[in-house]
């Protein structure tokens, strides 16, 4: 009986130990999962705070003209680069066209013959964004009307700057809006807006319209570069032709002088031979043991139309 009780007690102790180990493992797993969940919550909270801070910076940026200019210019430049335009060749950024900073468009398209197209990108889209976000028809219409007023206000500012006096490729200014939908919404809200803008030589366009203008500028710049290259090749070909002609004339003149020299030397040798022949009887009469040496003459050959004697051309 004692042995049975001992066995039961041992089994109970083992069961209690196993239960305690299982409980500890479950507790440890629960703590680990809780810590992981807490870490994920903290990470999500940090991401949310970061997004809120970025949104606040975005709102602050869009609330100022300089901020809108930086954001719009970034979209504008990226659009130009995506179309294949290269800065410094097809466009420039923040170029002072008037001197003194009075006229500094966000971007200048270079279309050849020193003609340029000014592009401004400081148009605000805050009211248009409000119109898109709201579900109320009246609020949407009011926001779009304010959007149109903002476009008119910015266009009046651009018309007053007179960019076309220094960048006169189109005798006006392009007002870039980084959303085609915002442009269409403004024109739909106010049917007289387009005529009003054209009267002030301000051309409203979104990324699609700017792509058309930029592609035309790229084509014009490419045509200008090809024409410049052709003109350069033609000028260098004319220069090479003149140099070749002068070189041939110099060779011909040198050949003429050389032929005259060799002709005179031949006559000199003939005269010397005649003199030797005349002196030979005197040599015989003097019984001189050393005769007068013979005059050496080299066989003449004709090479490429030129006679040579001992490596020199002769007539």
Please check the confidence at residue 305 and state whether its pLDDT lies above 50.
no
Average pLDDT over residues 126-136: 81
SS3 1: coil
* Strands laid side by side in the 202-205 sheet: 91-93, 107-110, 116-120, 173-176, 202-205
Overall average pLDDT of the 231-254 stretch: 78
Count of C-beta atoms within a 10 Å radius of residue 96: 12
Query: What was the pLDDT predicted at 315?
Result: 39
Q: What is the pLDDT of residue 312?
A: 43
Question: How confident is the model over 104-126, as a mean pLDDT?
Answer: 78
Element (H, E) at 272: helix 207-285
1 — pLDDT class (breaks 50, 70, 90): low
Share of the chain above pLDDT 90, in %: 1
Please choose, from the candidates 268, 275, 282, the residue with its C-alpha nearest in 3D space to the C-alpha of residue 314: 268
For residue 15, give the H/E element and its range.
helix 2-63
pLDDT at 299 over 50: no
For 149-176, how does the pLDDT look when each residue is reduced to its tens digit (9 = 90+)?
989 988 898 888 877 777 666 778 888 8
Nearest to 297 by CA among 273, 277, 275: 273
Do the Cβ atoms of 203 and 145 come closer than 8 Å? no
The Cα 198–Cα 246 span in angstroms is 60
pLDDT recorded at residue 311: 43
Residue ranges of domains in the chain: 65-227, 244-314
Confirm if 143 and 131 have CB atoms less than 8 A apart. Answer: yes
What is the average pLDDT across 48-66? 58
Across 38-47, 114-123, 179-188, 298-307, least confident range: 298-307
- pLDDT tens track for 193-217: 999 988 888 888 888 888 887 777 7
Of 81, 76, 80, 82, whose CA–CA distance to 105 is shortest? 76
The rounded distance, in Å, linking the Cα atoms of 309 and 315 is: 9
Residue 53 predicted with pLDDT over 70? no
Q: Mean pLDDT lowest for which of 29-43, 82-96, 177-191?
A: 82-96
Mean model confidence pLDDT for the chain: 75
């Amino acid at each position: 009986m004692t042995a049975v009780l001992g066995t039961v007690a041992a089994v109970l102790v083992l069961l209690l130990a196993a239960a305690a180990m299982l409980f500890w493992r479950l507790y440890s797993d629960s703590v680990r999962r809780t810590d992981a969940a807490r870490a994920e919550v903290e990470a999500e909270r940090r991401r949310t705070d970061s997004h809120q801070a970025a949104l606040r910076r975005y709102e602050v940026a869009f609330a100022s003209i300089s901020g809108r200019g930086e954001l719009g210019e970034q979209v504008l430049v990226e659009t130009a680069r995506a179309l294949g335009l290269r800065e410094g060749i097809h466009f420039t950024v923040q170029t002072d066209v008037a001197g003194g900073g009075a006229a500094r468009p966000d971007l200048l398209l270079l279309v050849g013959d020193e003609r340029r197209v000014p592009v401004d990108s400081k148009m605000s889209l805050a009211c248009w964004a409000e119109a898109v976000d709201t579900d109320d028809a009246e609020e949407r219409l009011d926001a779009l009307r304010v959007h149109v007023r903002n476009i008119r206000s910015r266009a009046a500012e651009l018309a007053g700057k007179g960019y076309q006096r220094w960048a006169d490729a189109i005798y006006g200014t392009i007002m870039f809006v980084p959303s085609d939908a915002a442009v269409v919404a403004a024109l739909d809200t106010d049917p007289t807006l387009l005529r009003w803008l054209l009267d002030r030589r301000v051309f409203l366009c979104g990324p699609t319209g700017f792509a058309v203008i930029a592609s035309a500028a790229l084509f014009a710049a490419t045509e200008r570069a090809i024409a410049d290259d052709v003109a350069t090749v033609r000028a260098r070909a004319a220069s090479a032709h003149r140099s070749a002609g002068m070189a041939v004339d110099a060779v011909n003149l040198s050949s003429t002088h050389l032929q005259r020299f060799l002709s005179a030397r031949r006559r000199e040798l003939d005269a010397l031979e005649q003199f030797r022949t005349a002196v030979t009887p005197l040599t015989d009469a003097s019984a001189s043991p050393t005769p007068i040496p013979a005059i050496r003459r080299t066989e003449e050959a004709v090479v490429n139309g030129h006679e040579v004697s001992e490596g020199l051309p002769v007539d």
